[in-house]
Chain A
């Protein structure tokens, strides 16, 4: 079995957020981690590898330093990494990103593609399903359990108040939730191997993407553009509510929460 896991290097929320003038994130200036949902997806792939034997290839698109997440994946037990990096790919929205990743994946053999549900920086949860559309394979999103039955994958898909058990023939794409599992640690020896010059990491640029049009790539190929980005407005001092009766106070608080779309 061949599994592809798409991972994204995202800002570590502990390190603070920085923007560039065009409203996109200044990724070079922030501390980074492997996106948590992607890490769960990678762990799911590695467990399938432990159980059934599989070749796990990890794909990421990003700045050259995104190779760090590939090294992390190798140190956890992935077999190969592919870094897709090119100036023309920068500033991509989910459409351009999914086009790029699909273009890279078309070069690879796969039975199963796993992505995270969503990345903690963009928070869209769009890229996984869009890749499946470009590749014309089925998608099951929000997986909290993944099993293999013959040539099919059986997935427990999470909903707000229930779950669905879904079965799809491979090849297919599954988006994983960080609740899916507890990702394993890297091993020290795995880290050393992943940092060697001959570590199995391939770097691809625009020219290596298969069946992708230029007009679908990068900032220029993005149907959506970020018009403005700003830091969160800091909360002021709290308002103390003192009304006649507890009922009145409760009504007032509920109305305020509704007004601010909290409930």
Chain B
């Protein structure tokens, strides 16, 4: 077993960290304060190739691996959780399912523009009544001649309104399964600007406030028959498998948030003096930092391991990475919450002031325990595997 990073991963980390420090960090506070989607940063990231990192070169991507992509989300999230999730939702939830399940025509049509960042992607699964119980889908798609007609709505969609291409999950009928009538669920590719596809309210959130979270509304939205992604009726599997990958992105975001908060805290406790010495000289501070750093390192290993497992899947098409991804997301998210909370505490009163980054990181961290499957869902995935 080799825990050292290869030359290319080291160089990639240098690149992402330089980009994050120079292009993302200076805007992080403003993006949070104004809740403004960082469009210019997205354009810069597109130019730098960050929006197609694990996508094969022949589809216009960078031809790198999932670990490199995870490191990109991690480094961006060290300075700005919003920017991290924009890349994650785009790459894991929109580009990846098209690369994995798309027909050659769908790949040729959508992936190059998405991978180059000319277009941005999003994923519509969640509905007001279908969160953790993703089977509870109400959105319907009915085939009418050469077109699918979509009706219904989706909520809490990351990159909503800003994205150009959406993977949308909808009910296409019913099937008999073990004597029970179940919903038949399918996946679709829907483009922004299609008549009948509009956006509802923009959510006002506690954290990742620059990330654009919208409601999607479909009213007799007609899309070409060929925009069915994968086989009819396979939508639920596609969604779950897509989320397995997405969880690695969110785990990387959580890891980055924890690392960012830890870095700032280490700097702060060495500067801040009380009782005539730096607060870093007090054993309480030292032990807190030791715990934070140890947990961050453990989280990092889980995240990287999950990324490597997905790489293996991308190579052989069969390696399972869902448990690895669930463990990484569960643990990294909880570490992010704990570490950012402690970071605020170690900053004292200043930590509660918006001028210091750690309070933003604490607000951003909370969502990593909720989206792309709550921590409870991750525990369900993990335990189901233990008890199968």
Stretch from B4-12, B189-197, B354-362 forming part of the interface with A: B4-12
- Please give, as numbers and ranges, the residues of chain B lying within 8 Å of A191 by CB-CB distance: 8, 11-12, 15, 64
Docked complex: A183-241 residues within 8 A CB-CB of B: 185-192, 194-195
User: When the two chains form their complex, are residues A188 and B49 in contact, meaning their CB atoms are under 8 A apart?
Assistant: yes
- Give A50 to B72 CA distance when docked, in angstroms: 27
User: When the two chains form their complex, are residues A188 and B62 in contact, meaning their CB atoms are under 8 A apart?
Assistant: yes
- Please give, as numbers and ranges, the residues of chain B lying within 8 Å of A187 by CB-CB distance: 48-49, 62
- Give A185 to B19 CA distance when docked, in angstroms: 8
User: When the two chains form their complex, are residues B19 and A192 in contact, meaning their CB atoms are under 8 A apart?
Assistant: no
- B153 shortest CB reach to chain A, Å: 36
**Candidates A72, A192, A194; contact of B63 at CB < 8 Å:** A192
Most chain B CB within 10 A, of A75, A185, A188, A191, is at A188
Known: A195-B6, A195-B8. A189 touches B63 (CB 8 A): yes
Q: Is B18 an interface residue (CB 8 A)?
A: yes
What are 12 A-B pairs with beta-carbon distances under 8 A?
A68-B11, A185-B18, A188-B49, A188-B64, A188-B72, A189-B49, A190-B49, A191-B11, A191-B12, A194-B8, A195-B6, A195-B7
Q: Is A117 an interface residue (CB 8 A)?
A: no
**Candidates A68, A185, A189, A195; contact of B57 at CB < 8 Å:** A189
Given contacts A189-B61, A189-B63, 13 further A-B contacts (CB under 8 A): A71-B11, A185-B15, A186-B11, A189-B49, A189-B57, A189-B62, A191-B12, A191-B15, A191-B64, A192-B8, A192-B62, A194-B8, A194-B11
- A2 shortest CB reach to chain B, Å: 26
User: When the two chains form their complex, are residues A188 and B68 in contact, meaning their CB atoms are under 8 A apart?
Assistant: yes
Docked complex: B50-73 residues within 8 A CB-CB of A: 50, 53, 57, 61-64, 68, 72
Most chain B CB within 10 A, of A68, A75, A191, is at A191
User: When the two chains form their complex, are residues A188 and B57 in contact, meaning their CB atoms are under 8 A apart?
Assistant: no
- B53 shortest CB reach to chain A, Å: 5
- A232 shortest CB reach to chain B, Å: 22
Q: Which residue of chain A lies nearest to B23 when distances are taken between CB atoms in the complex?
A: A185
- Please give, as numbers and ranges, the residues of chain B lying within 8 Å of A192 by CB-CB distance: 8, 62-64, 68
- Please give, as numbers and ranges, the residues of chain B lying within 8 Å of A185 by CB-CB distance: 15, 18-19, 48
Q: Could you tell me how many residues of chain A have their Cβ less than 8 Å away from some Cβ of chain B? A: 14
- Please give, as numbers and ranges, the residues of chain A lying within 8 Å of B63 by CB-CB distance: 189, 192
Q: Which residue of chain B lies nearest to A191 when distances are taken between CB atoms in the complex?
A: B11
- Please give, as numbers and ranges, the residues of chain A lying within 8 Å of B49 by CB-CB distance: 187-190
Nearest 10 pairs between A and B by C-beta?
A: A189-B62, A195-B8, A187-B49, A188-B62, A185-B48, A191-B11, A188-B64, A195-B7, A186-B15, A189-B63
- A78 shortest CB reach to chain B, Å: 14
- B61 shortest CB reach to chain A, Å: 7
- Please give, as numbers and ranges, the residues of chain A lying within 8 Å of B8 by CB-CB distance: 191-192, 194-195
Q: Which residue of chain A lies nearest to B7 when distances are taken between CB atoms in the complex?
A: A195
Q: Which residue of chain A lies nearest to B45 when distances are taken between CB atoms in the complex?
A: A185
Docked complex: B10-66 residues within 8 A CB-CB of A: 11-12, 15, 18-19, 48-50, 53, 57, 61-64
- Please give, as numbers and ranges, the residues of chain A lying within 8 Å of B48 by CB-CB distance: 185, 187
Known: A187-B48, A189-B57. A195 touches B62 (CB 8 A): no
Q: Which residue of chain B lies nearest to A185 when distances are taken between CB atoms in the complex?
A: B48
- Give A191 to B87 CA distance when docked, in angstroms: 19
- Please give, as numbers and ranges, the residues of chain B lying within 8 Å of A71 by CB-CB distance: 7, 11
- B194 shortest CB reach to chain A, Å: 32
- Give A186 to B12 CA distance when docked, in angstroms: 8
- B242 shortest CB reach to chain A, Å: 22
- A39 shortest CB reach to chain B, Å: 12
- Give A68 to B7 CA distance when docked, in angstroms: 9
User: When the two chains form their complex, are residues B50 and A188 in contact, meaning their CB atoms are under 8 A apart?
Assistant: yes
Q: Which residue of chain A lies nearest to B44 when distances are taken between CB atoms in the complex?
A: A185
User: When the two chains form their complex, are residues A189 and B64 in contact, meaning their CB atoms are under 8 A apart?
Assistant: yes
User: When the two chains form their complex, are residues A188 and B53 in contact, meaning their CB atoms are under 8 A apart?
Assistant: yes
User: When the two chains form their complex, are residues A75 and B61 in contact, meaning their CB atoms are under 8 A apart?
Assistant: no
- Please give, as numbers and ranges, the residues of chain B lying within 8 Å of A75 by CB-CB distance: 11, 15
- Give A190 to B63 CA distance when docked, in angstroms: 9
- B79 shortest CB reach to chain A, Å: 16
- A142 shortest CB reach to chain B, Å: 25
Q: Which residue of chain A lies nearest to B72 when distances are taken between CB atoms in the complex?
A: A188
Q: Which residue of chain A lies nearest to B53 when distances are taken between CB atoms in the complex?
A: A188
User: When the two chains form their complex, are residues B11 and A195 in contact, meaning their CB atoms are under 8 A apart?
Assistant: yes
Q: Which residue of chain B lies nearest to A71 when distances are taken between CB atoms in the complex?
A: B11
- Please give, as numbers and ranges, the residues of chain A lying within 8 Å of B11 by CB-CB distance: 68, 71-72, 75, 186, 191, 194-195
- Please give, as numbers and ranges, the residues of chain A lying within 8 Å of B68 by CB-CB distance: 188, 192
- Please give, as numbers and ranges, the residues of chain A lying within 8 Å of B72 by CB-CB distance: 188
- B260 shortest CB reach to chain A, Å: 18
- Give A69 to B7 CA distance when docked, in angstroms: 12
Interface 1/0 per residue, B65-90 and A, CB below 8 Å: 00010001000000000000000000
- Please give, as numbers and ranges, the residues of chain B lying within 8 Å of A190 by CB-CB distance: 49
- Give A252 to B267 CA distance when docked, in angstroms: 38
Q: Which residue of chain B lies nearest to A189 when distances are taken between CB atoms in the complex?
A: B62
- Please give, as numbers and ranges, the residues of chain A lying within 8 Å of B18 by CB-CB distance: 185
Q: Which residue of chain A lies nearest to B64 when distances are taken between CB atoms in the complex?
A: A188
- Please give, as numbers and ranges, the residues of chain B lying within 8 Å of A189 by CB-CB distance: 49, 57, 61-64
- Give A68 to B8 CA distance when docked, in angstroms: 10
- Give A68 to B14 CA distance when docked, in angstroms: 12
- B306 shortest CB reach to chain A, Å: 19
- Please give, as numbers and ranges, the residues of chain B lying within 8 Å of A72 by CB-CB distance: 11
- Give A206 to B181 CA distance when docked, in angstroms: 79
Interface 1/0 per residue, A53-91 and B, CB below 8 Å: 000000000000000100110010000000000000000
User: When the two chains form their complex, are residues A188 and B19 in contact, meaning their CB atoms are under 8 A apart?
Assistant: no
- Please give, as numbers and ranges, the residues of chain A lying within 8 Å of B61 by CB-CB distance: 189
- Please give, as numbers and ranges, the residues of chain A lying within 8 Å of B50 by CB-CB distance: 188
